[in-house]
A and B are shown apart, each in its own frame.
Chain A
Amino acid sequence: MINFTSEERKVILFILGLAFCGLVLNNLVKVNCRVERLIYPAMQLAKLDINKVSLIELAATKSVSLELARRILEYRDKRQGFGSLEELKEIKGIGDQRYGKLKELFFIE
C-alpha cells in the first residue's frame, strides 16, 4: 500500500467530504429553488442600488465627482427613482464611456 502522510490523508478526506457536500447541495437545489438564493451572493454585496445610494457613497466610488454625484441625486429625486440604468445617460456629464464604468457599479432592485 502507498504510505500517505497525515497531511495527504487530510487532503483525500477533504476532497471526498467536498464531493459529499456538493451532492447534498445539488439535491437541495433541485428539491427547493429557494436554496439557490442562499448559495449565490446577493447583488447588494457587489453593486450599489442606484435608487438607495447616498451622496457620500456615490462620491466614494471615485468614478463620479461630488458635483456629478449631486446631479445624479437631483435627477433621482426629480424622477422619483431610476427606472433603468440607461437613464443615467440623460444626466449632464455622463457620456458613453462614463456610463460604461457606472453600470458596473450600480444596479436597480
Chain B
Amino acid sequence: MKRPLVILTVFYCLGIIFADFTRVNFWIIVATIILFFMIVISLGRNKVIFLTCVLFLAVLLGCLSMRNSWTMSNCHIRKFVVYKNNSFYWLNGRIVSYPEFKNNHLWFIVQTRQVQFDRIRYKCCGKVLIKMDFQSALNYGDNLILAGSLNPPPRFGRRQGYRDFLARQGIYLIMPIKNSRQIIHQDKSRGFGFIRWCFCLRVQLEQVINRHLSSLPASILEAMVLGQKRNIPWLVNDSMVKSGTVHILVVSGFNVGIVALLINLLLKILRLGRKLRIILIVICLVIYCFVTGASNPVIRATVMGLVFLMAYFLKREPDVYNSLASAALFILVINPRQIFDIGFQLSFVSVLAIVYFYPKLNGLVRLELCKIKLLKYIGQGCLVSFSAWLGTMVIIALNFKIVAPVTVLANIIIVPLATLITLCGFTLVLSGLIYSDLACFFSLPTAVLITLLLNINAVLIKLPLAFFYL
C-alpha cells in the first residue's frame, strides 16, 4: 500500500456518507466494530483478512462518528425550546466568536450555560446565534445575559440551506435582540487568551488595510488576505461568481504558502537555524489560521503545510496526496458533517484535481519543450486553471446551477493578477504593522491592481456565452 492514509480517509468518508443516507442504529455500529476488532485480533496474521477488516473498520468508524455527531446532549439548549411557541427565554453564556457587523446586524455566537423560562432555571449547553439590530462594544469571551425568543434558522433550500449550514456548526437556534434592554453585559474577556489575541491581531490588520486603501479595494484585500468577506459589495461577489473566479476572494493554500515564505525569509535574515525556523513557521501558520477565522480551506492548507514542514524537519520526502488526506481526516474527525459543506468539497476537490490532472495534461501538451519562458508560464497557468475547472465543474453546476465557460479564460487572466494582489496585500499589511508610513509605498500599486482586476472581470462576464444558468 503506497498511500495508506489516503485509502483510510476515502473509506472513512464513505462511512460518513453511508451513515447520512441510512439510519443505522448507533449500537448496531458499535457491535459491528467490536466484531471486526475480534476478527482482526484472532485472524489478523492473514494479510488479506487484516487489510479487509481495517478498511471495514475505517468505514464503520466514519459511520459511528457521523451518528455520534447527530446525538445531542440531554442538556442541549435546543431541547428546551418548543418551536412555533414564541416564549421568552433568559440565556446566560459566553461569546465564542468574533462579533461581526453584517447586513445592518451584529452577529455572534454564544456558548450557553444557563437557560431560564417560566421562572425556572436549567443548566444547558450548546451554541446560539445572536442577531442584534444595533451596534455594541462586545468582544470574544464576554459573559452575557440575553433575553428574547429563540427561533430556528430560516430554511432557503432543501439540503444546502442556511439551516443545514448552521446545523453543521452545531447551531440550531437564533435569538434576535432588538433593543439594549434585552442584553446585560456581565464581565469582559474570559475566553482563550490565544484566540482573543488572534482576533485583536485581525482587527489591527484590518485597520492597516482600511487606513491605506479606499473602501472597495480594502474590502477585496480583506477577503484575499484575511478571509473577511463581510464588506464585499454584492455586485462584486455576483460578477465573480459569474466568471468563476470567486475563489480568489477566500484565503487558500496559496496564502498559507506566502506566509510561510515571508516568515522564512525574515527568519533567514535574522540568521536563525533551519530547525528553529521550521518551528517558528509552524507557530505563525497556526496564528494565521486563527486570524483568518479557521475556515475549511485555511485548515486544509495549514494542515497540509504542517505535514510538509514536518517532513522537512524529519528529512523525509513529503507526499501531496498523504498531506491532503491528513488534512481531510483532521477536519472530518472533529466534525464529520463538514463533508457536506460546499466549501470543504470545493477546497479538496480543486487541489486533488490540480494534483491529479495537471501532470497528465502536461504530459500530453509537453510544455517543457517550449523554449519561450513566458509562453511556458502562460501554458502552465492554463493547465492548472483547466484542471481545477474540470474537477469542480460538477459540484458548481449542481449547487449553484451555473455553468461558466468563461471560467477557464477568466482564471488564466485573473488568477495571476490575484496572486500579485495577494503578495502586495501581505507586503502592505506586514509593512503597516512594522511602521505605518512604510505601507504608503505599497498601497497605490495594490489599488491599481485591484481596479484592473475588477475592470477585467466586468469585461469578461459581458462576453457572449460567458455564463448561463441551468
Which chain A residues lie closer than 8 Å to B441 at the CB level? 18-19, 22-23, 26
Which chain A residues lie closer than 8 Å to B103 at the CB level? 100-101
Which chain A residues lie closer than 8 Å to B442 at the CB level? 18-19, 22
* A41 contacts B104, C-beta separation under 8 Å: no
The 8 A CB mask of A24-64 against B (1 = contact, 0 = none) is 01100100000000111100011110000000000011010
Which chain B residues lie closer than 8 Å to A12 at the CB level? 265
Of the A-B pairs whose beta carbons lie under 8 Å apart in the complex, a sample of 7, sorted by A's number, is: A18-B424, A19-B441, A39-B447, A41-B455, A47-B233, A105-B234, A105-B235
| CB < 8 Å neighbour of B448 from A4, A14, A25 | A25
Report the minimal beta-carbon distance from A72 to chain B, rounded to whole angstroms: 16
* B451 contacts A39, C-beta separation under 8 Å: yes
User: With A29-B444, A41-B454, A46-B216 known to touch, is A15 a contact of B427 (CB < 8 Å)?
Assistant: yes
* A41 contacts B217, C-beta separation under 8 Å: yes
Q: Considering residues A2, A29, A46, which has the most beta carbons from chain B within 10 angstroms of its beta carbon?
A: A46
* CB proximity to A under 8 Å, residues B418-470: 423-424, 427, 440-445, 447-448, 450-451, 454-455, 458
* A104 contacts B233, C-beta separation under 8 Å: yes
Interface residues contributed by chain A, number (CB under 8 Å): 32
Q: Quick check: is B268 within 8 A (CB to CB) of the other chain?
A: yes
Q: Quick check: is A67 within 8 A (CB to CB) of the other chain?
A: no
The 8 A CB mask of B273-291 against A (1 = contact, 0 = none) is 0000000000000000000
Which chain B residues lie closer than 8 Å to A19 at the CB level? 441-442
Q: Considering residues B265, B443, B444, B455, which has the most beta carbons from chain A within 10 angstroms of its beta carbon?
A: B444
| CB < 8 Å neighbour of A22 from B265, B444, B455 | B444
* CB proximity to A under 8 Å, residues B50-74: none
| CB < 8 Å neighbour of B261 from A7, A40, A61 | A7
Provide the bound-state CA to CA distance between A80 and B458, in Å: 28
The 8 A CB mask of B205-232 against A (1 = contact, 0 = none) is 0000000001011000000000000000
User: With A61-B234, A100-B104, A105-B235 known to touch, is A45 a contact of B455 (CB < 8 Å)?
Assistant: yes
Report the minimal beta-carbon distance from B248 to chain A, rounded to whole angstroms: 15
The 8 A CB mask of B260-277 against A (1 = contact, 0 = none) is 011011001101000000
* B440 contacts A104, C-beta separation under 8 Å: no
Q: Quick check: is B236 within 8 A (CB to CB) of the other chain?
A: yes
* Count of CB-CB pairs between chains A and B under 8 Å: 83
| CB < 8 Å neighbour of A8 from B235, B268, B455 | B268
* CB proximity to B under 8 Å, residues A71-109: 97, 100-101, 104-105
* A40 contacts B217, C-beta separation under 8 Å: yes
Interface residues contributed by chain B, number (CB under 8 Å): 33
User: With A41-B217, A41-B450 known to touch, is A2 a contact of B269 (CB < 8 Å)?
Assistant: yes
* A18 contacts B261, C-beta separation under 8 Å: no
* A101 contacts B104, C-beta separation under 8 Å: yes
Which chain B residues lie closer than 8 Å to A29 at the CB level? 444
Which chain B residues lie closer than 8 Å to A66 at the CB level? none
Which chain B residues lie closer than 8 Å to A46 at the CB level? 216, 233, 235-236
Report the minimal beta-carbon distance from A26 to chain B, rounded to whole angstroms: 6
Provide the bound-state CA to CA distance between A39 and B455, in Å: 12
User: With A4-B268, A8-B268 known to touch, is A21 a contact of B445 (CB < 8 Å)?
Assistant: yes
* CB proximity to A under 8 Å, residues B223-255: 233-236, 238
Provide the bound-state CA to CA distance between A14 and B430, in Å: 14
Provide the bound-state CA to CA distance between A18 and B428, in Å: 10
Report the minimal beta-carbon distance from B87 to chain A, rounded to whole angstroms: 24
Which chain B residues lie closer than 8 Å to A14 at the CB level? 423, 427
* A2 contacts B448, C-beta separation under 8 Å: no
Which chain B residues lie closer than 8 Å to A97 at the CB level? 104
Provide the bound-state CA to CA distance between A4 and B265, in Å: 8
Which chain A residues lie closer than 8 Å to B444 at the CB level? 21-22, 25-26, 29, 39
Using CB atoms, name the residue of chain A closest to B215. A46
Using CB atoms, name the residue of chain A closest to B270. A2
Which chain A residues lie closer than 8 Å to B261 at the CB level? 7-8, 11
Which chain A residues lie closer than 8 Å to B233 at the CB level? 46-47, 104-105
The 8 A CB mask of B5-38 against A (1 = contact, 0 = none) is 0000000000000000000000000000000000
User: With A38-B451, A41-B217, A46-B233 known to touch, is A2 a contact of B271 (CB < 8 Å)?
Assistant: yes
Which chain B residues lie closer than 8 Å to A18 at the CB level? 424, 427, 441-442, 445
Provide the bound-state CA to CA distance between A19 and B445, in Å: 9
Report the minimal beta-carbon distance from B94 to chain A, rounded to whole angstroms: 29
Report the minimal beta-carbon distance from B239 to chain A, rounded to whole angstroms: 8
Using CB atoms, name the residue of chain B closest to A11. B265
* CB proximity to A under 8 Å, residues B386-438: 423-424, 427
Provide the bound-state CA to CA distance between A23 and B238, in Å: 34
Q: Considering residues A38, A40, A63, which has the most beta carbons from chain B within 10 angstroms of its beta carbon?
A: A40
Which chain B residues lie closer than 8 Å to A25 at the CB level? 444-445, 448
Provide the bound-state CA to CA distance between A104 and B271, in Å: 49
Q: Which 7 A-B pairs have the closest CB atoms?
A: A22-B441, A25-B444, A46-B233, A100-B104, A19-B441, A41-B451, A21-B445
Which chain B residues lie closer than 8 Å to A45 at the CB level? 216, 235-236, 454-455, 458
Which chain B residues lie closer than 8 Å to A105 at the CB level? 233-235
Report the minimal beta-carbon distance from A19 to chain B, rounded to whole angstroms: 4
Provide the bound-state CA to CA distance between A7 and B269, in Å: 14
Provide the bound-state CA to CA distance between A12 and B264, in Å: 12
* A26 contacts B440, C-beta separation under 8 Å: yes
